Structure 1
């Protein structure tokens, strides 16, 4: 189980890294990819002091690199910054721990415009009714989610949406589920 979870996390990290590279190449105006690697420079983490969030899906996320609560679910705020790094070509990546146990990943370009913003959840399914599942979120409470029909569930071990199965899902800035992965 630990090895599968480690492989899954490695695959997710690799996918995010590939996405960052692709965005960097596309946004820098380059027509050809290079063999350069992303240079990561750690910056000090800081404790976030954000007011309570409101869920207003019509508002666009704040384009600043500071902590913002727009686009977060109701009653969720930033607990602390987990990691903050400067990427190649002036891009910036910030990972924040939210009060509901999830992590928000934000990537901004050199002008501080948000290129990618998503919330990542990990937990264990407690009940299931079709594509509606209740999940005990790691580091948080319980959440009931409905997986949209257009989202393909990654389920290599053919576990299904059953109680006791580990589940990871990603939500975009508009609050829509983008990906779901099951693990044993």
Structure 2
């Protein structure tokens, strides 16, 4: 096993998602994930505390990117326009591997109540990061909270649409997220 090869974290994520899809989350061990990724168990534990944490690989980075985009939005824009800037910033960092893993990860989560719980916590964390960034821009609650939740829904809908597209399609993730945000913005006007 190659202990110090670059890309170990990424390989661990791919190996885990593959194994979760093939044999189920409960029947997959850390040792199997490490072996599939070509690393040792101790390398696995340098990157993740347990196999459930593989699901949220990159959550901190994603939260940071969303918050940075919101903070960098032009002065004076409304909460949803600031959220759009956050979504675009995060989308710029998501590439082919994210797109490839999306459907398999969704299937693994759907098959495991433990992963569903962890995925729900991830969603809470992403919404909280956006809400905090909006409040730091001077947006009052509940507007910041509502805009963050709409942003989270736009993220999920846009990501699902992007992952479901023809793989030869070179569209990035941002257009899908921004289209989802526009749909939700329109839908919100009908809630009166």
Q: Normalising by structure 2, what TM-score?
A: 0.25
Q: Radius of gyration: which is bigger?
A: 2
Greater relative CO, 1 or 2 (CA 8 Å, sep 6+):
2
Q: Which has the higher strand share?
A: 1
Q: Which has the higher helix share?
A: 2
